Amino acid sequence: MNIVLVNSEYPSPSGVDHGGIATYTCTMANALMKLGHAATIISKRGAALDELVPEVRLFEVDPQLPSLPVRPLKKMINGAILWEKGYAKSVASRVMALHRREPVDAVIVPDYNGLGYYFKKNSPFRAITYFHTPTYLVDSYNNAPAALGKRLWYRFERQAALRSRHFLCPSLGLKNRVIADYNLAAHSISCLPQPLDLAPFEATTWIKKKKDTFDILFVGRLELRKGANVLAQAMKYILAMNERVRFTLAGETETIDKRNTQVSLERSLTDKERERLYVLGPVNRNALPALYRQSDVLVVPSNFENAPYVILEAMASHLPVVGSQVTGINELIRHDQNGLLFEPQSMDGLLGCLQRLMEDEALAERIAEQAYQEIRIRHDPEEIARQTVDHLASLDQVRKTAQ
């Protein structure tokens, strides 16, 4: 098959990291090539990507904006939508050019940022919308106000997503949510696991943990959706569990509404306690495997997730994971088997899970090993690439039968 994958992420503010969309895109492209298929990535210029095998074709695009002056147009319509439509037009033009050169079988485009806006249901290739997490969901779990500009943006993303007849999704919980909110037929959206390349995590040299510390790690943007409020409330009590406890935050600390969570956390602590809280800010992805390996537990206190790569990466690093009992996390973690779960927003539940792992090394080793053995099979990139190709082939067969 000849498959095009679209990366809708912008370059990160730090310039050193990227999100799950880029991780999925690069991992899938590499796996497709290894199976003998053709894979092309279309990405916004300057966006960070993982290392690609030489055979993967990469095209970076800029937005195709109207010839009329942009400033007056931005006053009449939502400027962000105008900008993304420019990118969407560039993506569609590039795909059509590729298709004229060599027929494209399918284009997999994320829901996020609406880059599928100019695809059509009767396109000569299959356009598939991949649901990662639409902006309206991100904003709703961050309690972000839905002003007119935001509502127009949600509608734009919805219109772009619904240019497809068929959809992919990594999480059953997210699938059920978009079925209800986008009024989709259940049979039109299929769940496939996220692919994870184990090599960067297995290649990392084991770092001998200091016996005099217990290192807790959080990786991600510190925002309400990710459970920043829970960490802010619990941090003082987490550090008070034992003098051995050290807590590391890796990721953006500046939230969308400009409230700095790092400041909130540090204000709740004494000077002595602050010495055991490490705020790294954005971390280069190449440094993440070592960070996982030198930690004792990963904490994921989110209020909503799709199927977060941070959990898979920790499991690949033999790092125990403690997560909240919410959609997307409880599909990856089974309590007391391959991780520990606590009720969302429960500070006592989080503290209890951390206490168990700190006091029971055998438990930590058992659940970490179980998690690793499971993901190396269930999230194997080549296996998921095969499942994706089989799924796309089945859609083509249905299409031919209908004709």
Per residue in 331-354, pLDDT tens? 999 999 999 999 999 999 999 999
Q: What is the pLDDT of residues 60-72, one digit of tens each?
A: 999 998 765 555 5
| Residue 132 clears pLDDT 60, i.e. is over it | yes
Residue 314's pLDDT band, with cuts at 50, 70 and 90, is very high
Token pair of 259, please?
């409230």
Where do we find the tokens 């690793």? 372
Q: Residue type for 71, please?
A: R
Cα torsion through 315, 318, 322, 327, rounded to 10: 10
CA distance 133 to 304: 10
Structure-token match 């095209």, residue found: 59
403: confidence class by pLDDT, cuts 50, 70, 90: very low
Where do the H-state alpha helices sit in 278-346?
288-293, 309-316
In this prediction, residue 257 has a pLDDT band, given cuts at 50, 70 and 90, of: very low
Helices (H), 45-122: 70-76, 79-101
What ranges in 122-227 are assigned the alpha helix state H? 135-141, 148-161, 172-182, 199-202
Which of 49, 233, 77 shows the shortest CA–CA distance to 152? 77
The rounded distance, in Å, linking the Cα atoms of 286 and 400 is 45
* 46, 11 contact by CB (below 8 A): yes
What domains are defined for the chain?
A: 2-195+380-402 (3.40.50.2000), 199-378 (3.40.50.2000)
Per-residue burial over 155-173, b = 16 or more CB atoms within 10 Å of its CB, e = otherwise: ebbbebbbbbbbbbbbbeb
Which run of H or of E encompasses 352? helix 347-359
Residue 171 has phi, psi (to 5 degrees) of -140, 135
- Which helix (H) or strand (E) segment holds residue 298: the answer is strand 297-300
Percent of the chain's residues with pLDDT above 70: 90
- pLDDT tier, 19 (very low <50, low <70, confident <90, very high otherwise): confident
Confidence (pLDDT) at 260 = 64
Q: Where are the alpha helices (DSSP H) in 183-301?
A: 199-202, 228-240, 261-267, 271-274, 288-293
Lowest mean pLDDT among 128-132, 192-196, 225-229, 361-365: 225-229
Nearest to 326 by CA among 210, 230, 251, 232: 230
365: Cβ contacts below 8 Å, ≥ 6 apart: none
8 Å CB contact between 117 and 160: yes
Take residue 83 and report the two structure tokens written for it.
Answer: 């900008």
- Whole-number mean pLDDT of the chain? 90
C-alpha of 100 from chain center: 32
